[in-house]
Structure 1
């Protein structure tokens, strides 16, 4: 696909995907969402998701586009946004959101859909859709409460209040804070490199199990875990990992992220 609003760079098996619409503070247009679907759907290794340098990670959905939409077009736009965030959540590979600047609306929803979030100290998060007469439509009403709890999510969504980086970390939106963009991206690469030394099939199964168990009662969650545990015994990585342990050597896992 001809990426007009994204930049991609793959190095040492890690792909950095950069939303690049500086004229719109990296806002999510139909085109950008379609390109994200394509690049994430084709991922064969770990991903870093970030925005082009500037004031925003992703300032939100493209308001100029939304202002002209009919209800039917709005529904289709929401469906496209939800497809992207659902794919980020379910794709087999680990995904780190690297937030540097504003992550409002759709930008916050993108970050919530990733496995975890690194951010610079200048970053600001929020779901301000109610100030536009809208609601979060790319998964914010669902994932924010899973991340910070229903009461906190209601307060943030109803008020549209902005949350600075320190508060975002305190309430569980952000894993780690960094002084600047370079330090953040370097740390993300180090983390994904460390993850990449492990069994890709096992990491993929862990991700799928955590997603399947989220919001479920303990019994249902344990059943999902048990099914994935059994599946792990069918993989070449299980044979290699246990054999390497017993032989006191480093495992030579496959580099395939499909189970």
Structure 2
């Protein structure tokens, strides 16, 4: 696949997806389309067990491409198409069964923060800025920001951050529950790789992927539905070679050798 807006490097079963759309890594329609294809391919790649999403240069993602907004003025259908494409990208990332970590290396605003909120885990630096400033443009967040922000923090915080267009530092974002960890710029990618490795090393991907599915899908459905999925996927694992190997290795007091099947 020819890529114009992303760099993808896979090492030790961890794929690093770098958004590279100078000067500010804005999410144009073409960039969104390419990111969707990249994640679709990584979902099917058996060699990839975890994914890190980051930005090239000083930006994670500064937001959507405002030039495209200008072209869409007066055209509701074009606005709807842009919103749908952005939501579809964030949904596909959130619904990935492989763990996805956002390594927020710089400005993470508007659609950039919405993209990061679609990831399963978020790490940032003290000097990064995170926020949803869309109301200052006479718009609202539309890649899922009005929904995911309240789920990650709470309704009151979502109202405050969106209505004030406040931009948070990395440490402030940690206090709000938007990110899970703040590290120095130099340690950002190494830390993300260490966490990704901890998510999947020594584990069967057949169980990792089911665990991610249960957690992510369950967060968006009634408890009874989530519990039903949990017990169904648990029962399915009893048919796998990896469950047999994992249990037998435990009994024999040795490390399991998983085939991910």
Superposed displacement of residue 217, structure 1? 4.2
- State how 1:27-66 maps to structure 2 within 5 Å: 27-43=26-42, 44=45, 45=48, 46-54=50-58, 56-66=59-69
Aligned residue number for residue 193 of structure 1? 197
Tell me the alpha carbon deviations over residues 30-56 of structure 1, each in whole angstroms, 9 at most, x when there is no partner: 1110111111011132111000021x2
Structure 1 distance, partners of 2:127, 2:147, is 26
Q: Number of matched residues? A: 253
Q: Kindly state the Cα deviation for residue 244 of structure 1 after the two structures are TM-superposed.
A: 1.1
User: 8 Å contact 1:108–1:126 — kept in the other structure?
Assistant: yes
Secondary structure of the 2:256 match is coil
SS at match of 1:42: helix
Question: Where in structure 2 are there 5+ consecutive unaligned residues?
Answer: none
Deviation per CA, 1:58-117: give whole Å up to 9, x if none.
001111111111221111111111111011011121110000111111100111000110
Secondary structure of the corresponding residue to residue 22 of structure 1: coil
> 8 Å contact 1:205–1:232 — kept in the other structure?
no
Question: 2:13 maps to which residue?
Answer: 13
- Whether the aligned pair in 2 keeps the contact of 1:126 and 1:160 (CA below 8 Å) is yes
TM-superposition CA deviations, 1:182-226 (whole Å, max 9, x none): 311001111111222211111111111112221444433322322
Farther off after superposition, 44-53 or 219-228: 219-228
Classify 1:255/1:13 alpha carbon distance in 2 versus 1 (closer, same or farther; 3 Å): farther
**What TM-score do the two structures reach when normalised by structure 2?**
0.93
CA deviations over 1:6-40 (Å, ceiling 9, x no partner) = 111111111110110122x0000011101111110
Stretches of structure 1 lacking an aligned partner (at least 5 in a row): none
> What is the TM-score with the length of structure 1 in the denominator?
0.93
Q: Are 1:179 and 2:184 counterparts?
A: yes
Is this contact kept in 1: 2:207–2:237, CA < 8 A?
A: yes
Given the alignment, which residue of 127, 135, 146 partners 1:130?
135
Equivalent-residue separation in structure 2 for 1:40 and 1:52 (angstroms):
18
